[in-house]
Structure 1
Amino acid sequence: MKRIWTAGVCWAVLVILLAGCAGSDARITQIATIDSLLAGVYDGSATIGALKQYGTLGIGTLDKLDGEMLMLDGVVYQIRADGNVYLPGDDQTTPFAAVVDFRPEKVVELPEPVSLGVLLDRLDRQAPNRNGMVAIHLRGEFRRMRTRSVPAQQKPYRPLVEVTRHQPEFELGRISGDLVGFRLPAYVKGINVPGWHLHFISAGRQQGGHVLDFELDSGRLELAEIYDFRMILPRESDAFAAADLSVDRAGELHEAESAQVE
């Protein structure tokens, strides 16, 4: 991937440590597993209202796989397959989500253009413990942003990899907005998405989706390393109970999560 980072800009100078911040005390709370979603378990098992009690920042999807979900500052947004943004009610549900009470430990000023791949490489250096978990929030001006969403499904549900083969994708061009997500370690395979998983919403809260690629002009990024994790499984879901979660779905995940940066 092309590097568009100006030589001579010292990354270390741009990093601000937030004194007294206790970001590592935060906990990621997750609903269900990524493999159950890959297997087509799309019926929601936790309400949006409950999700808001667990955190202020996060990503996921909605009942019946109805679009991409993003939580920022405690507000939950739904980006449907039409590319538009909606505000789901607290009684709506999610079959898969991960949220955290976000308290950043570092602020990174990004004054010059940078590509997605280069940015994530730099962030990996800021959080070198690859066995820990990282949450980020980036508010920026983008020279281009490419996203996708997924359409609501009807029973019998198709596996996620089949749904994403026909996913709507959006070239948003120059746009300002917020990007949120996580970097999770390799050992979460089958539970969540190893590596980076990012969602975007425009400043006007009208466009967004699952991030496929971008080029950033400038921005301000907040980062927190997380060392506490909780998973809440569906209690009364016949579909979850019947799903074969012993299958290695790494190949399906790689195809479905085409935004994954390796």
Structure 2
Amino acid sequence: MDYRFFLGIGVAVAIVFAGAAVYTGFEKQAPADSPGRDTLYQISTIDVLMQGVYDGNVTVGDLKKHGDFGIGTFDRLDGEMIVLDGRVWQAKADGTVSPAMDNQTTPFATVTYFDTDIRQTTMDRAMNYSGFTTAMAAQLPSQNMIYAVKIHDTFPSVTVRAIPAQEPPYPNLTVAAKEQQVYTFTNVTGTVVGFYTPAFLKDLNAQGYHLHFLADDHLRGGHILDMTVPANSIVQYDVTPYFTMALPTTGAFVGTNLTADMSAALAAVEQ
């Protein structure tokens, strides 16, 4: 059965299980003439992933029904997911990038349909990842909204990581991340794909910017650890005021204790 709860906090939130639909709350759904286009659709929560729940529960084929743009990971934490222009790519720890098959599964992913609402220009000097995220967050119309984020440019440097597939019993993400493989690309043309998530959703997703990269040649990519953003680069934002979460009804998720604050551990892993 489907239970959807819409919270009157500026973002409409729907938490989806399996089955018939019941609605309670105060915020209306996305407009009927653009169903789902302004919705961030998320599989599971970041805190669950942090605690080692890596078994995929939603297929890539099903995920693509909810968006053409996004990021995530794959079953057993096998690499980084980049969703761009409706195609899903898998950047693996061995440095390869390949199209994901529709029957592959994901334990955690976020997608939406990307429609540019805002264009901002970066500073007239190159910035590293930290400088970029700080400067651009300060320019957002509101830091209380979800934004899909896209940048296409030639980057002087992009450093990415991917974590190899884990074997059960799964370690938590802090431990698994110690196996990450890191790659640095120079003078690479490609697309930064990701999201800005407000602080009040920090237990559900990574707070602030969470960005992945895919080169135009589709041969290089991963989770961005650092990058040099060129001067006067164009950053496209899609304001995404609706949020739907699909939670597993079976498997390790059901028994996972989610009362702990994982924000500090997550910040360390994301860096």
Cα distance change on mapping 1:111 and 1:175 into 2, 3 Å: farther
Q: Given that residues 80 and 92 in structure 2 are in contact (C-alpha distance below 8 angstroms), is that contact kept between their aligned partners in structure 1?
A: yes
Q: Given that residues 84 and 207 in structure 1 are in contact (C-alpha distance below 8 angstroms), is that contact kept between their aligned partners in structure 2?
A: yes
Q: Give, in whole Å, the separation in 2 of the partners of 1:33 and 1:160.
A: 13
Q: Given that residues 69 and 76 in structure 1 are in contact (C-alpha distance below 8 angstroms), is that contact kept between their aligned partners in structure 2?
A: yes
Aligned residues: 235
Q: Give, in whole Å, the separation in 2 of the partners of 1:129 and 1:111.
A: 19
Q: Give, in whole Å, the separation in 1 of the partners of 2:92 and 2:56.
A: 16
Residue of structure 2 equivalent to 1:8: none
Q: Cα offset for 1:169?
A: 0.7
Range with bigger deviation, 213-222 or 192-201: 213-222
Q: Give, in whole Å, the separation in 1 of the partners of 2:66 and 2:162.
A: 24
Alignment of 1:79-118 (within 5 A): 79-109=91-121, 113-115=125-127, 116-118=129-131
Residue of structure 1 equivalent to 2:24: none
Alignment of 1:237-252 (within 5 A): 237=251, 239-252=252-265
AA in 2 matched with 1:234: P
Runs (5+) with no aligned partner, structure 1: 1-21
- Alignment partner of 2:69 out of 33, 57, 63: 57
Q: Cα offset for 1:257?
A: 1.0
AA in 1 matched with 2:46: I
Cα distance change on mapping 1:110 and 1:61 into 2, 3 Å: same
Residue of structure 2 equivalent to 1:209: 222
Correspondence 1:184 to 2:201: no
**3-state SS of 1:172 partner:** strand
Q: Given that residues 25 and 227 in structure 1 are in contact (C-alpha distance below 8 angstroms), is that contact kept between their aligned partners in structure 2?
A: no
Residue of structure 2 equivalent to 1:235: 249
Q: Give, in whole Å, the separation in 1 of the partners of 2:250 and 2:179.
A: 31
Q: Give, in whole Å, the separation in 1 of the partners of 2:52 and 2:211.
A: 21
Correspondence 1:156 to 2:172: no
Q: Cα offset for 1:113?
A: 4.4
Range with bigger deviation, 109-118 or 66-75: 109-118
Cα distance change on mapping 1:53 and 1:229 into 2, 3 Å: same
Q: Given that residues 28 and 98 in structure 1 are in contact (C-alpha distance below 8 angstroms), is that contact kept between their aligned partners in structure 2?
A: yes
Q: Percentage identity across aligned positions?
A: 36
Correspondence 1:224 to 2:254: no
Q: Cα offset for 1:67?
A: 0.2
Residue of structure 2 equivalent to 1:143: 156
**3-state SS of 1:187 partner:** helix
Superposed CA RMSD in Å reads 1.8
Residue of structure 1 equivalent to 2:185: 172
Q: Given that residues 59 and 181 in structure 1 are in contact (C-alpha distance below 8 angstroms), is that contact kept between their aligned partners in structure 2?
A: yes
Q: Once the two structures are superposed, what CA deviation does each residue of 1:43-99 show, in whole Å capped at 9, x if it has no partner?
A: 001110011010011000000100000100110000000111011111110000000
Runs (5+) with no aligned partner, structure 2: 1-33
Q: Given that residues 39 and 112 in structure 2 are in contact (C-alpha distance below 8 angstroms), is that contact kept between their aligned partners in structure 1?
A: yes
TM-score by length of 2: 0.82
Q: Given that residues 46 and 206 in structure 2 are in contact (C-alpha distance below 8 angstroms), is that contact kept between their aligned partners in structure 1?
A: yes
Q: Given that residues 77 and 166 in structure 2 are in contact (C-alpha distance below 8 angstroms), is that contact kept between their aligned partners in structure 1?
A: yes
Q: Cα offset for 1:210?
A: 0.5
